[in-house]
Amino acid sequence: MAAKLIDGRTVAKEYKEKLALRAQALVESGVTPHLAVVLVGENPASQVYVRNKENACIKAGIRSTVIRLEESCTQAALEETVEKLNADQSVHGILVQLPLPRHLDEARVLRLIDPDKDVDGFHAMNSGRLMNGQKGFVPCTPLGVMELLRAYDIPVEGRHAVVIGRSNIVGKPQAMLLLHANATVTVCHSRTQNLAEITRQADILVAAVGRAGFVTADMVKPGAAVIDVGINRVDGKIVGDVDFEAVSEVAGYLTPVPGGVGQMTIAMLLANTLDAAERCGR
Ligand code: NAD
């Protein structure tokens, strides 16, 4: 294997240790950082994600409250829950776990979250702030990718970064963060033509597609940093978007799945919650 493995587990662990110190300082100053998570229904993956977030909060010294609503919950009841959390001064961060049951309007709920408590960074106000280079909450996964690049001293400025995927929660904010870090950025998506020709030019290649084994070795420039955001379940196993074995022979750096980007996502959620609490405490 030629590629250096980017160890998200270790980076996230060290990062969370620093966050725990920040949380402790806040508590000592009289502010208990507090994340509220709203979970609707019984989606098994969502339950695992929420439990992981809860455990990470507890470990870091952040108070965590999970509000569980029935699968059959009405839009009005969900919105009332969010409004209450908006008004609750003890709550610094609010997160509505997605996906919501199909009868609920996700976009409407996300719009309702106070942008200054929107630690997932999904509110249009925060997308706008990111676009304009203003301070705001940035979605956790792309933020985590930037931390991984930093942790491994992978140069970004002046490099060609190619992002595959243009979702509001990964691809677009990822492209914006890379642009702010002075990369030359290309965003590819489902209608992109000659994809491999473009990805082969990437010094940094971020895959956020949601298809197992999508990025093959012939799509990667030798020595490139390949960041695999994908989470796909294949035969009961979690795999990324990158053909790990083959690409590891070509890339310079590569994130494993699991153990790469996913580890950073929760760390960034904690960081955003502490940012919110610190702003309140001032
Ligand atoms: P999404 O479905 O919203 O977006 C997928 C993107 O892939 C789209 O923008 C689409 O244009 C692009 N795409 C689809 N087919 C393509 C093709 N043939 N060629 C080029 N582009 C194509 O998904 P998402 O929410 O952005 O998530 C992407 C992946 O990242 C998923 O596997 C998801 O589970 C994972 N994810 C991981 C984390 C984490 O913490 N590691 C967080 C969020 C999402």
Q: Does domain 140-262 have CATH number 3.40.50.2300?
A: no
Centre of ligand 1 to C-alpha 29, Å, is: 41
pLDDT band at 282; cut points 50, 70, 90: low
pLDDT value of residue 71: 97
Is the bond preceding 258 in cis, omega lying within 30 degrees of 0? yes
Q: pLDDT tens-digit profile of 41-65? A: 999 999 999 999 999 999 999 999 9
The ligand 1 site (C-beta within 6 Å) comprises: 141, 164-167, 169-171, 188-190, 192, 195, 208-210, 229-232, 261-262, 265
The per-residue pLDDT for range 125-176, each reduced to its tens digit, is 999 999 999 999 999 999 999 999 999 999 999 999 999 999 999 999 999 9
Res. 280 pLDDT band, cuts 50 70 90: confident
Domain residue limits, the chain: 30-114, 140-262
Residue 118 has pLDDT above 80, yes or no: yes
**Is the dihedral angle over the CA atoms 58, 127, 204, 196 positive or is it negative?**
positive
Domain 30-114 belongs to what topology? Rossmann fold (3.40.50)
Long-range contacts at 236-242 (CB < 8 A, ≥ 24 apart): 239/212, 239/213, 240/207, 240/212, 241/164, 241/207, 241/208, 241/209, 241/210, 241/211, 241/212, 241/213, 241/214, 241/215, 242/207, 242/213, 242/214, 242/215
Cα 21 to averaged position of ligand 1 atoms, centre (Å) = 34
* Domains 30-114 and 140-262 are alike in CATH topology: yes
Point out the ligand 1 atom lying closest to the alpha carbon of residue 241: 32
pLDDT, tens digit, 9 for 90 and up, residues 202-239:
999 999 999 999 999 999 999 999 999 999 999 999 99
Give the residue, by CA position, lying nearest to ligand 1 atom 6: 165
Shortest-distance Cα residue to atom 31 of ligand 1? 210
| Predicted confidence (pLDDT) at residue 281 exceeds the cutoff of 70 | no
Query: Which positions are catalytic?
Result: 53, 97, 120
